[in-house]
Structure 1
Amino acid sequence: MRQSLRSSPTFWLTAFLAVTSSASPIFSGSDVAQLVEDLEELPATLKDIYVSGSSHPAKNETRRCKVYPGDLEWPSDEAWEKLNELTDSRLLTKPEPKASVCYNGPSYDAEKCAGLAPIWSRSYTHMHDPIEMMSPVAQGMTCLPPNVFDSGNCTRGGFPMYVINATEPKHVQLGVNFARNTGVRLVVKNTGHDFLGKSGGKDALSIWTHYFKSIEYIEDFVDEKLGYSGPAFKAGVGVQAFEIYKAAREKGRTVVGGEGETVGIFGGYIQGGGHSPLSSLYGTGADQVLSFEVVTAAGDFVTANSSSYPDLFWALRGGGGSTFGVATAVTVKAHPDMPTTAARFSFTSEKIGNETFWAGIRSYVDYFIPNADAGTYAYFTLIPNVWTGIFTFNMSPFFAPGKTLEETEALLQPWLTRLSDLGINVDPNITHWDNFHDAWRSSFPLETVQKVNATTGSRMFPRANFETEEKREELYRNLRQSSENNRVQVHFNIKTVDPDNADNAVNSAWRPMILFAQQAVRWPVNATAVEKLRIRREFQEGDMQRWRDISPGAGSYLAEADRLEPNFGQAFWGDKYPRLLELKAKWDPQDVFFATTSVGSERWKVETPDGLPNENGKLCRVQSAPS
C-alpha cells in the first residue's frame, strides 16, 4: 500500500499542493504537469519523510514537540533542497541576524556594525529583512548591536532557520504542506511589527509574505450579503500603510489602516482587528474586509467571503493572524478622501509643578467622550522621568479627519481654555490639509523598534469609565498611579464604530471603547532572567490588574499587549472566543499554525532555556504526550 501511494503522481501533487477543485486556479496546465514530474523524481528516502507526515497524521497529533534539528524526523538536506526547487529558488537558508556583523564570525564587519547602530531603532531598518522582529525581547535578545544590548555573541535565538520568500500562493501552499507533513514548526512573517513577537520561532520554517505587493482598485464592488456596493481595493498582504494610503490618494479615496507608516496592514493588523485614525468614523480594519484569498492548513487556496467559506471569513476578520490560514490578498472597502486637520503640542511638570500638571490631565479626561463622538483620534503619551520627577504630556497628534481648521479649534478650545486657567500655556500647532494622506504622513511619529528592557500591556476602557464624574476621577487616578509607578503610557482617545452591525470575530470590547490605553513596564538592562520574570509578573498583578479592576468585562488588543496577559482568550476576543476555538479545530485540527496568545495556543508553550516568554525555545504541547 505504501509503495502504491509513492508511485501515484496524483498523491504527490496533493501532498505538496493540496489544491481543491473549488479553489481559484494557481498554475497553468503545463505548470501542473511539470510539478507532477518533479515530485515523481523524488528519491525514496525523501518520499518517506512526506509519506509519514501526510499519510500518518496521528503522528503529528500526538508528538509532544514540533520537529527540530537533531530529531530523527528532521527533514534531510535533500528535502529542503527540493522545497527550494519547487518554490522557484525562493528558500532562504539560515538568514543571518542583522547584528551578526557586530560579532566575531564569518559575517563580522566593523564598518557595517558602526553604520547599523545609529539606525537600529528605526522600523525602516528592519521592515525588508526576512527574519528581523521589531520586538527584541520576544526574539530572545540573542543578537543585537553591542551599543543597544551586548549579547556577548550572536546566536539565532528565536529566529527561523528557513524562510520562503513567497510571492505567489503556490509558494505559501508548498510551505504549509511541508510543515504539516513533516511536523516542522511554521511561522508567518510580514514586516515584523508585533509587540508579542508572533512572527518568530526558533529553528522554524517561516513563510515571508512581505513581497505580496499588488494593489488593484475596483470602482464598483458589490456584496449583497454584506450590504456593500461601492469602491474597493484588492491588495497583497505585504502592502504597507504608506503604500496603500498613497494608492488610495491617487484615486481620490482612503482606506482604514494603522497610524504607523511601515505596518503591513493587510496581514496580522487587519486579521487582528486593527485600530485606525479613521476608526471613529468607519470601525476597525477588520470591519472593512470584503474578501480574503487564503491558504488553509490543509494547503487549499481558497477565496473566503460572505458566500464562500463564510465561517472562515468570519474568523479571519478579527480572529488573529497565523491562526486559521495564510492570507495572500485582501479586498477592503474604499472611502472618500477627506480634508483633515491635526494638532500637536506638549507640556511638562518642570515649571508648573506636578499637581498643576495632573490637574491638566484630569481636565482632559472630561473631553474623551465628546472628542471620540466627533470622529477624532487623539494619540498622546504620558512620560515619567524617575530621575528628575518630571512628567511630560505629548499630543502627537490630535487627528481630526473630515474636520475644518475651525471645527478642530472649536473641539480643542474648551480644554485649552481650562489648561490656560490652570497656568498651563500651550501653543498648539493646528494644521489643515486638503486630503487624508498628507495629514497622516505629516502628523504621526515613525514607529520604532521596541526597547530591550520593556514590555507593554493594554486595556480598552469603555464609555462606562467616562460617563460620570466619579468614574472619570477613578480612571484619572489609575492613570496617574501608573505614571507615578514609572510606567510609560501611550493612549488613543478613540471609538470604533460598528458599521452595519458587522458580524465578525472582532472583540466586542472594541465597540464601547473610548480610550485604548497602554502602559509599559521596564527592568534593568542587565537584570537576570529571574528578576525580569518577577518584574513582569508583578506588573500584571499590580498596575495591569488595577486597570482590569476598574473596567470589568472589557478587553485588550491582541497585537499591542503582553505575552503574560492572563485569560487572554477573554481579553482579546471576549464572548467570541468559544466559537473561534471551534473554528480553529475545524480549519486547523493539527495545529499547523501557532502564534503566542493566538486562538488555541493555550495547548502549546515555547520552552525557553531561561523560562522567559520569548521565541528562543522549542514549541511543545502543554500536556505531555508520547513522543
Structure 2
Amino acid sequence: MRKLCFLFLASAAQAALEFESVLLTTEHTKGFRAVEFAKGEGRLPKARCKAWPGSNDWPSDFEWRLFNATLDGALLKPTTPSIACYRGPDFNAATCSYLLNNATNNGFWIDDPVTVLTQWTQGGTCMPALNATGTCTHGGFPHFVVNATTVKHVQAAVNYARNKNIRLIIKNTGHDFGGRSVGAGSLSIWTHNLNAFELLKGYKKGSYSGTAAHFGSGLLNWQLFNEMFRNNLTIVGGGQRTIGANGGWMASGGHGHLTSLYGLAADQVLELRVVTADGRYLVADEEQNTDLFYALRGGGGSTYGVVTSVIVKTYPPVTLISSSLGIACNPPPDTNARARYAPLDSNTKFVNNTDRFWNAISIYFRFKRSIVLAGGTDWDYLYPLGNNSYSFRTRITFPNTSATAAEALLKPLYDNLLRAGFNFTLNRTELVPVPYFGTALTPSSPGSNGLQNTRYRSRLIPHDNFATDAIFNRTFAAMRSITEQGGLTLHGLSIGPSAKAAGYPGTTAAVNPALRENVLHLCYMTTQPSSFTAQQARDEEAHVNKLLKPLRDITPGAGSYMNEGDPGEPDWQWSFYGAHYRSLLRVKRRRDPWGVFWAPTTVGSEGWEVVTLDGYPRSQNGRLCRVEQ
C-alpha cells in the first residue's frame, strides 16, 4: 500500500520512504555469513562462470532456506504462468484461456515476477497457446526471485549473489526489449513492490527549491499519474503507463510527452537511493557519491547498483493538446490487414500510388523538427502490409498550448500537404487542452502489452539531418528503403531533450550526448519467431543490420536509444553511450570490481558472455561466463 505524506524539509538528507528504513545490519549476517557485506578490496571470483543450478558451486537447498529466512520469507521460486497451457501436472485449460483472452488487458503480465513482454531474449520458451505442443521449459527465466519490499531484501540479495557467485538480475515490470531483466540460472531482485510515494515541500537542492516528489523504483507510470492528479502538479512520466516511473526507463534516459519541454526522466533526478555491489545503501546526489549520481542518470541500468528510490523535480499543472492524421496506401482486401490501417476519420487520406504515399510521409517527417522546436512530441507508426500496401498514423502533442496557437503551429504542415495535392482538413474538434495527468486510473485501466517477440532497432536522427532539403532527402530515402526492402515496421517519435530542456541538474547526467541533438527517435520493429534456429537468428540479424547501414552512415555519431535499442547493435558502446562510455566504465570498475551486476549492452558487459547450448545469438538462456582472453 502506498502512503502519501507531506513533509516540510530544508534538506533531502532527512527524507526516506518507509520501506527504506528497514536495512540489513551486521546483526542479520551473524547467523548466515553468505549475506555478509563485502570486505577489503574487491576482485572478480576465481571461477570463470557464474554458479549454475545443479553444479558443485550452486547453493544447497538448505542454504536457500537460510537465505529465505534472512529475507523474512520473500524468496520465490515461480514458474512462468504459461505452463498452464502445456500438458503436464500444471496444465489448466481455464487458466490458459485467461492468459490468451484477458491477461493482456488488466496488467497481469506486468505484475508477474518473472515474465518479460518480449520473449525471444529468454529463449522464446513456453509461449501461451491453445493446444500447445512440446515441453514448457524454464528457459532464460530466473531460478529464484526476491520479492523485495524493503531495502534489507535488496541488500541481502546483492550480498548473497556476490558471495555465492550467482548471476543477479533486476526486474520491475518486464518492459524489456533487450534481455536485461531475464537470465538463466539467476537470482532476480523484483523491485515491483517498492512503490511508495511522498511529496516533499520546502525541498532544496543546489539551485532547485520548491516541491519535489520522492518515490520508489517499483512505482508504475499510471500510479505516478494518479499522484499528479491528486496533487494537481506535473512530474515527467513515460508515454506507456505500465512502465516503471524510474528504474530502467530512467536509467537510460526515459522519454515521454514532455521530453521536448522539460527533458528526459534522467534530467529530473535530484537525488537517488541505491544499493551498490558491496551491499551498502547509499544516497547519491551532486555532493555525495557523485560518480553514481552521474552514471545512474542516463548511463544505463542493471550495472552500477539497484536504485530503490528517486527524488525528482515537480512542475505546475501542464495541459496537452493533440492532433492526429493518417495516410493509407493501396488498401489490402484482407480484413485483418485493413484493421492495421489508420482510423477511418476525417483526417485519414487514402492513395493508390506508392510514390505519392511516400511523398506525403516525407512532408510530414520534414515537419518533425518544427514539432520539437515548439516543445512538442509526436508518436507514429508506419506499417508495411505487403504488395505495396502501407498504413501510417500519428498523433502530435503540444504542451501548454491553446487551440489557436496549435492551429498556427500546424498550418505550415497542412499548407505543404495541400501544395503536394493532399487536401487534409485539420480536425479542430481535437484541439482541446486536457490535463497532462488525465483522470484517475485503476490498476486495470491502463492496459498492458501482451507477450510478444518484438525486436527493436533504434536510431537517433539529429537536427543536422534536417538542416537542408538535400541532407533530409538522403536521410528519408534511407528510412524509406528499410521499410520497403525489409518490410520493417517504423515507429517514430519526435523528441528534443536538449540541454536547455534538461535544465538543472540534467546537464550533468550521463545521458547519451546524441539525445541532446535529437529530433527524431526511429525504431524499426520486427518479430523474431520462437521457431527460429540459431542460424536463422544470426542471418536475420545480419540482414537487418545491412538494411540499416545506409541510415547509420548518414547519421554518423548519432547513436541509438538503449531502452528501444537492439542487443545486437553494432558498436553498441558508442551507439548507446557516446563519448561518456570511458568515464562510465571507470565508475563501473570502481563500484563493482566483483562483477555482481551484468546485463547485455550495459557498461562493462563486453567482459562476459552467455554460453547457450545452441549458440542462439543474444539469448539469455545459458550460463554467464567471463570472456576468455
Maintained 8 Å contact 2:403/2:432? yes
Maintained 8 Å contact 1:235/1:330? yes
Instruction: Check if 1:621 corresponds to 2:626.
Output: yes
Provide closer, same or farther for how the CA distance between residues 363 and 334 of structure 1 changes in structure 2, counting only shifts above 3 A: same
Structure 1 residue 31 displacement after superposition: 8.9
C-alpha distance in structure 2 between counterparts of 1:343 and 1:261, whole Å: 20
Structure 1 residue 414 displacement after superposition: 2.1
The answer for the alignment partner of 2:67 in structure 1 is: 83
Provide closer, same or farther for how the CA distance between residues 153 and 230 of structure 1 changes in structure 2, counting only shifts above 3 A: same
Q: Read off the aligned partner of 2:295 and give its amino acid letter.
A: A
Structure 1 residue 421 displacement after superposition: 4.3
Q: Percent identity?
A: 34
Instruction: Check if 1:583 corresponds to 2:584.
Output: no
Instruction: Check if 1:311 corresponds to 2:291.
Output: yes
Provide closer, same or farther for how the CA distance between residues 205 and 468 of structure 1 changes in structure 2, counting only shifts above 3 A: same
Maintained 8 Å contact 1:260/1:446? no
C-alpha distance in structure 1 between counterparts of 2:143 and 2:195, whole Å: 24
1:72-126: per-residue Cα shift (whole Å, max 9, x none)?
Answer: 1111112111111111111102x01010100122221011111211245558231
Structure 1 residue 427 displacement after superposition: 5.5
1:552-586: per-residue Cα shift (whole Å, max 9, x none)?
Answer: 01111111111101111111110000000000000
Instruction: Check if 1:106 corresponds to 2:89.
Output: yes
Provide closer, same or farther for how the CA distance between residues 29 and 287 of structure 1 changes in structure 2, counting only shifts above 3 A: closer
Provide closer, same or farther for how the CA distance between residues 313 and 587 of structure 1 changes in structure 2, counting only shifts above 3 A: same
Instruction: Check if 1:201 corresponds to 2:183.
Output: yes
C-alpha distance in structure 2 between counterparts of 1:109 and 1:416, whole Å: 55
The answer for the alignment partner of 1:562 in structure 2 is: 566
C-alpha distance in structure 2 between counterparts of 1:459 and 1:30, whole Å: 42
C-alpha distance in structure 2 between counterparts of 1:417 and 1:182, whole Å: 66
Q: Read off the aligned partner of 1:562 and give its amino acid letter.
A: D
Maintained 8 Å contact 1:200/1:615? yes
Runs (5+) with no aligned partner, structure 1? 1-21
C-alpha distance in structure 1 between counterparts of 2:314 and 2:15, whole Å: 26
The answer for the alignment partner of 2:209 in structure 1 is: 229
Maintained 8 Å contact 2:118/2:177? yes
C-alpha distance in structure 2 between counterparts of 1:30 and 1:598, whole Å: 29
Q: Read off the aligned partner of 2:61 and give its amino acid letter.
A: D
Maintained 8 Å contact 2:74/2:148? yes
C-alpha distance in structure 1 between counterparts of 2:535 and 2:21, whole Å: 58
Identify which of 238, 250, 256 aligns with 1:258: 238
Identify which of 319, 325, 346 aligns with 2:305: 325
For this pair of structures, how many residues does the alignment match? 586
SS at match of 1:205: strand
C-alpha distance in structure 1 between counterparts of 2:227 and 2:18, whole Å: 26
The answer for the alignment partner of 1:401 in structure 2 is: 399
Structure 1 residue 449 displacement after superposition: 4.0
CA RMSD of aligned residues (A): 2.8
The answer for the alignment partner of 1:13 in structure 2 is: none
The answer for the alignment partner of 1:16 in structure 2 is: none
Q: Read off the aligned partner of 1:535 and give its amino acid letter.
A: E
Instruction: Check if 1:157 corresponds to 2:139.
Output: yes
Q: Read off the aligned partner of 2:141 and give its amino acid letter.
A: F
Q: Read off the aligned partner of 2:526 and give its amino acid letter.
A: V
C-alpha distance in structure 1 between counterparts of 2:531 and 2:139, whole Å: 18
Runs (5+) with no aligned partner, structure 2? 1-13, 331-349
The answer for the alignment partner of 1:448 in structure 2 is: 449
1:27-86: per-residue Cα shift (whole Å, max 9, x none)?
Answer: 9999989x73x65455xxxx5x679x9679888533111011122111111211111111
Provide closer, same or farther for how the CA distance between residues 445 and 405 of structure 1 changes in structure 2, counting only shifts above 3 A: farther
1:443-488: per-residue Cα shift (whole Å, max 9, x none)?
Answer: x996624633x41110111100001010110111112111202010
SS at match of 2:299: coil
SS at match of 1:336: coil
Structure 1 residue 304 displacement after superposition: 0.7
Of stretches 65-74 and 248-257 in structure 1, the one that deviates more from structure 2 is 248-257
The answer for the alignment partner of 1:131 in structure 2 is: 114
SS at match of 2:603: coil
Of stretches 428-437 and 358-367 in structure 1, the one that deviates more from structure 2 is 428-437
Instruction: Check if 1:605 corresponds to 2:609.
Output: yes
SS at match of 1:262: coil
Provide closer, same or farther for how the CA distance between residues 566 and 445 of structure 1 changes in structure 2, counting only shifts above 3 A: farther
Maintained 8 Å contact 1:190/1:209? yes
TM normalised by structure 1 equals 0.88
Maintained 8 Å contact 1:289/1:317? yes
Instruction: Check if 1:413 corresponds to 2:417.
Output: no
The answer for the alignment partner of 1:516 in structure 2 is: 521
Maintained 8 Å contact 1:521/1:536? no
C-alpha distance in structure 2 between counterparts of 1:465 and 1:582, whole Å: 33
Maintained 8 Å contact 1:24/1:301? no
C-alpha distance in structure 1 between counterparts of 2:497 and 2:29, whole Å: 49
Maintained 8 Å contact 1:372/1:493? yes
C-alpha distance in structure 1 between counterparts of 2:273 and 2:164, whole Å: 25
Provide closer, same or farther for how the CA distance between residues 434 and 484 of structure 1 changes in structure 2, counting only shifts above 3 A: closer
Of stretches 253-262 and 401-410 in structure 1, the one that deviates more from structure 2 is 401-410
Q: Specify which structure has the bigger relative contact order, considering alpha-carbon pairs within 8 angstroms and separated by 6 or more residues.
A: 2
Provide closer, same or farther for how the CA distance between residues 276 and 29 of structure 1 changes in structure 2, counting only shifts above 3 A: closer
Identify which of 88, 99, 102 aligns with 1:116: 99
The answer for the alignment partner of 1:488 in structure 2 is: 489
Maintained 8 Å contact 1:232/1:334? yes
Of stretches 196-205 and 361-370 in structure 1, the one that deviates more from structure 2 is 361-370
Provide closer, same or farther for how the CA distance between residues 427 and 524 of structure 1 changes in structure 2, counting only shifts above 3 A: farther
The answer for the alignment partner of 1:551 in structure 2 is: 555
C-alpha distance in structure 2 between counterparts of 1:342 and 1:41, whole Å: 60
The answer for the alignment partner of 2:49 in structure 1 is: 65
Of stretches 495-504 and 102-111 in structure 1, the one that deviates more from structure 2 is 495-504
Q: Read off the aligned partner of 1:435 and give its amino acid letter.
A: P
Q: Read off the aligned partner of 1:303 and give its amino acid letter.
A: V
Instruction: Check if 1:179 corresponds to 2:184.
Output: no
Provide closer, same or farther for how the CA distance between residues 152 and 28 of structure 1 changes in structure 2, counting only shifts above 3 A: closer
Q: Read off the aligned partner of 1:502 and give its amino acid letter.
A: T
Maintained 8 Å contact 1:259/1:440? no
Provide closer, same or farther for how the CA distance between residues 108 and 297 of structure 1 changes in structure 2, counting only shifts above 3 A: same
